[in-house]
């Protein structure tokens, strides 16, 4: 982004003031002063479970949006939607916090679309997101919700894409603009983006944008928007660091919070970790793939290099896999995400670029190949599965010193992640056999029974028994490894104590190594034992890895002095004083 654009926008910034902006709109006064939106908790909780009469139509939505919601298959609003949509329709500024995968994107998209005037081509809704993938995801959901609203256009703006195309899209007019802060500030400086008609400004994943260094860009965009806008802050987590941003740019904001407890991850996700040897992490991942055999899975790594190496390893293993990281061109990243959503390949290896806002239908397994840096990234990683009430599983591979970082994540989230051993080859074979048995049983219990098979008839005509044919088919599709087959140990030695104990201690609370004996200095006047004896004993205890060394001896062992007159090795030894030559002063003559 150009320095000229930054200077132009900076000149428009309003002076720093902690005074809230005057209320705008025709909302009742009590809705503008209440600090927290209050809805009957039982109604909102039942709405989240689908057991209440609360519907989208009862929230005051237009018929077009109700039809769009029904087309998407949503029966009742989630808890965050039931709390946020009425407040946003009333014109209040919102600070929303809920778990990832709870439907917060629709919670701010639905009221924003209701406020759009299709007759005007000016930009009326601006949605700020931290990453390109999340911008594409939010724009796609906004287009689905506005499918019955004629004349509403949505444009996605982010870095790495062509300027010419974005200039053309904005020039044709778009009421809803979704983009990343950096490119939006750049377009604002080039006079390609006009924010004078903004009615709703949404900051999605505001904490992540601050972590990525977009603080200055956010200030410029918020300052360029009109004073009477409606400002909405939404995020899965809301640390105190962004409270100052809310105080500066929101007028009497309401907190809409679903879960008052600590964010421990989606409740429908089973969290497990395996402590493995560092050189066996890839082998452990292959064992997990064979054991769980999910329809689709997402593997997270911390570096782009590790993503490339692991994706190549999965391809060599015969798995349909692709990679996704920030070093790829934007068209390639878009192609990869679209292919993963439609099921073109089963495994996606990615960095944290895919950890937020990516909603993949029926994602069954998330693997943390590398442990994330902090608890917040861990929550967003495992939040890719178990979305919208579905069940999911999150597996973390821990090796080396990463176990202590896992303990920090557990303490930050207030949960205890279950430790399990890596499945063995026998476990994999038993799981495959159980799957085959279930499929055969299902076919046998189907109405009319299984259809006749020419293969089985041909084998029977050759003289084979039906039991032998069935055993051979099971052996082909679920082979059992030989009992004497050697198996490489993948699990590492445990570094944590029993359940409930502090992290880092071994079972029983004992030290992992014996306490090293240290001698004490003898009392004054006592005779110390010969040093050579103690040195030889220590060398014998050290074993073959530490060869014996010739020890220095003192006193009678060295042949000096009487037996009772040996001096301790630390006793002070007297030395002759060095003669100091002084320069003679010259005489008077």
3-state secondary structure 290-341: HHHCCCCEEEECCCHHHHHHHHHHHHHHCCCEEEECCCCCHHHHHHHHHHHH
Average confidence (pLDDT) over 190-203: 93
pLDDT at 25: 40
282 vs 277: CA distance, rounded Å? 10
What Å distances lie between residue 339 and 177, 335, 343, 346, CA to CA?
25, 6, 6, 10
pLDDT at 427: 87
Residue 449 pLDDT grade (very low, low, confident, very high; cuts 50, 70, 90): confident
The answer on pLDDT for 113 being more than 90 is yes
pTM: 0.57
Least confident of 108-122, 179-193, 218-232, 525-539: 525-539
pLDDT at 440: 81
Gap between the terminal Cα atoms of the chain: 86
Q: Is 202 helix (H, G, I), strand (E, B) or coil?
A: strand
| CA pseudo-torsion sign 48, 53, 55, 60 | negative
Do the Cβ atoms of 108 and 202 come closer than 8 Å?
yes
The answer on pLDDT for 534 being more than 80 is no
The CA-based angle 18-24-27, given to 5 degrees, is 120
Do the Cβ atoms of 556 and 566 come closer than 8 Å?
yes
Residue 34 pLDDT grade (very low, low, confident, very high; cuts 50, 70, 90): very low
Sequence length of the chain is 589
Both tokens of 490, joined, read 């993948």
pLDDT at 468: 87
Average confidence (pLDDT) over 483-501: 57
Per-residue pLDDT of 141-160, as tens digits, reads 999 999 999 999 999 999 88
146 vs 125: CA distance, rounded Å? 13
What is the DSSP annotation of 77-91? --HHHHHHHHHHHTT
Per-residue pLDDT of 233-275, as tens digits, reads 987 666 777 788 888 888 888 888 875 444 555 567 889 999 9
Buried b (16+ CB within 10 A) or exposed e, 256-290: bbbeeeebbbbeebebebbbbbeebbbebbbbbbb
Q: Is 276 helix (H, G, I), strand (E, B) or coil?
A: strand
Q: Is 242 helix (H, G, I), strand (E, B) or coil?
A: helix
Least confident of 120-124, 297-301, 313-317, 504-508: 504-508
The more confidently predicted of residues 451 and 311 is: 311
Q: Is 249 helix (H, G, I), strand (E, B) or coil?
A: helix
The answer on pLDDT for 574 being more than 80 is no
Least confident of 199-203, 388-392, 546-550, 572-576: 546-550
Per-residue pLDDT of 157-190, as tens digits, reads 998 888 999 999 999 999 999 999 999 999 999 9
The more confidently predicted of residues 161 and 482 is: 161
| CA pseudo-torsion sign 318, 322, 323, 329 | positive
The answer on pLDDT for 514 being more than 50 is no
Residue 499 pLDDT grade (very low, low, confident, very high; cuts 50, 70, 90): very low
Per-residue pLDDT of 349-372, as tens digits, reads 999 876 665 667 778 899 999 998
- For each of the domains in the chain, give its residue range(s) and CATH number, in order of start: 17-257 (3.40.50.300), 269-425 (3.40.50.300)
Q: Mean pLDDT, the chain, as a whole number? A: 75
């Amino acid at each position: 982004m150009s320095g000229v654009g930054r200077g132009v926008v900076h000149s428009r910034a309003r002076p720093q003031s902690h005074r809230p902006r005057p209320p705008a709109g025709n909302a009742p006064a009590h809705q503008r002063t209440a600090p927290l939106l209050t809805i009957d908790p039982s109604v909102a909780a039942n709405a989240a479970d689908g057991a209440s009469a609360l519907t989208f139509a009862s929230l005051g939505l237009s018929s077009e949006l109700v039809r769009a919601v029904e087309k998407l298959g949503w029966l009742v609003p989630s808890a965050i939607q039931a709390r946020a949509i009425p407040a946003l329709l009333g014109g209040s500024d919102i600070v929303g916090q809920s778990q990832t995968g709870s439907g917060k994107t629709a919670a701010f998209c639905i009221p924003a679309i209701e406020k759009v005037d299709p007759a005007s081509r000016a930009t009326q809704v601006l949605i700020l997101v931290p990453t390109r993938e999340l911008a594409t995801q939010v724009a796609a959901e906004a287009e689905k919700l506005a499918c019955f609203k004629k004349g509403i256009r949505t444009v996605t703006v982010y870095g790495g894409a062509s300027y010419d195309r974005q200039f053309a899209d904005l020039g044709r007019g778009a009421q809803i603009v979704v983009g990343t802060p950096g490119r939006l500030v750049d377009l604002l400086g080039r006079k390609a983006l006009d924010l004078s008609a903004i009615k709703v400004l949404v900051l999605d994943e505001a904490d992540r944008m601050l972590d990525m260094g977009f603080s200055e860009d956010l200030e410029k965009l918020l300052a360029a928007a009109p004073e009477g806008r409606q400002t909405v802050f939404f995020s899965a987590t809301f640390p105190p660091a962004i409270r100052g941003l809310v105080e500066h740019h929101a007028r009497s904001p309401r907190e809409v919070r679903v879960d008052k407890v600590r964010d421990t991850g989606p409740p429908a996700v089973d969290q497990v970790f395996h402590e493995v040897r560092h050189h066996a992490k890839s082998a452990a991942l292959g064992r997990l793939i064979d054991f769980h055999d999910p329809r689709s899975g997402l593997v997270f790594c911390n570096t782009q290099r590790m993503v490339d190496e692991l994706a190549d390893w999965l391809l060599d293993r015969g798995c349909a896999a692709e990679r996704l990281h920030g070093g790829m061109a934007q068209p390639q990243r878009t192609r990869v995400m679209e292919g993963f959503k439609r099921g073109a390949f089963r495994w996606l290896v990615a960095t944290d670029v895919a950890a937020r806002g990516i909603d993949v239908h029926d994602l069954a397994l998330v693997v943390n190949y590398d442990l994330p840096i902090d608890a917040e990234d861990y929550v967003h990683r495992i939040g890719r599965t178990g979305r919208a009430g579905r069940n999911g599983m999150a597996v973390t591979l821990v090796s080396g010193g990463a176990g202590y970082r896992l303990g920090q994540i557990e303490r930050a989230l207030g949960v205890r992640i279950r430790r399990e051993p890596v499945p063995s080859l026998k476990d994999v074979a038993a799981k495959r056999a159980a799957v085959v048995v279930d499929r055969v049983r299902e076919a046998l219990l189907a109405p009319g029974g299984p259809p006749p098979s020419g293969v089985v008839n041909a084998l029977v005509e050759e003289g084979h028994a039906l039991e032998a044919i069935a055993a051979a088919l099971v052996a082909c599709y679920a082979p059992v490894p030989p009992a004497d087959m050697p198996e490489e140990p993948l699990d590492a030695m445990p570094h944590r104590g029993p359940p409930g104990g502090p992290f880092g201690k071994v079972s029983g609370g004992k030290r992992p190594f014996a306490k090293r004996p240290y001698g004490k200095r003898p009392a004054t006047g006592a005779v110390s034992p010969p040093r050579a004896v103690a040195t030889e004993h220590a060398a014998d205890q050290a074993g073959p890895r530490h060869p014996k060394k010739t020890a220095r001896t003192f006193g009678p062992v060295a042949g000096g002095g009487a037996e009772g007159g040996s001096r301790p090795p630390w006793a002070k030894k007297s030395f002759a004083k060095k003669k100091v030559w002084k320069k003679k002063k010259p005489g008077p003559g």
